[in-house]
Amino acid sequence: MAGLTIGKLAAAEGVSVETVRFYQRRGLLPQPERRGGGYREYSEADRARLIFIRRARRLGFSVGEIGDLLGPAEANSAAEIARAAQGKLADIDIQMRELELLRCRLRRLLHVCEHGDGRDCAALQLGEHT
């Protein structure tokens, strides 16, 4: 698949042309040189990089984090990738605890609103200062 135009690269990986351009602006994908006919041609290495970026996005890594991972990925540094994945897991664990706490609070609020009177429901009193 060497010598892909931006449209063909994007279609091959299931993204839009704008997504490819966004990754280029962010420095995640290089800007290819113009070849014959004035078209920019993307290489198999560009395609592999786009695949890596998409996989990392699906795993929850931000664009900035992916930029930090590209070097270790290209160097096949499993230890650095593992450290980044461990950090991402720790972040997710924190988010899950926060979401569980939020869920408990919302359930209590719902119970008060459904089974108490209107004065008991904090959601109904947001505009009032007593």
Q: How far, in Å, CA of 122 to CA of 113, rounded?
A: 8
Asked whether 14 and 57 are in contact (CB, 8 A), the reply is: no
Write down the H helix ranges in 1-130. 6-13, 17-25, 44-58, 63-74, 78-115
Q: For residue 38, give both structure tokens.
A: 């004035």
For residue 4, give the 3-state DSSP assignment: strand
Residue 83 has pLDDT above 50, yes or no: yes
- 20-74 confidence digits (pLDDT tens): 999 999 999 998 888 777 888 999 999 999 999 999 999 999 999 999 999 888 8
Domains in the chain (CATH in brackets) are 1-76 (1.10.1660.10), 93-130 (no CATH)
Task: Please say if the pLDDT value at position 125 is more than 70.
Answer: no
Q: Please tell me the total number of residues recorded for the chain in this structure.
A: 130
pTM (predicted TM-score): 0.76
Burial of 62: CB neighbours in 10 Å, binned 0-12, 13-18, 19+: exposed
What lies within 8 Å, CB to CB, of 73 at 6+ separation is 52, 81
pLDDT of residue 129: 55
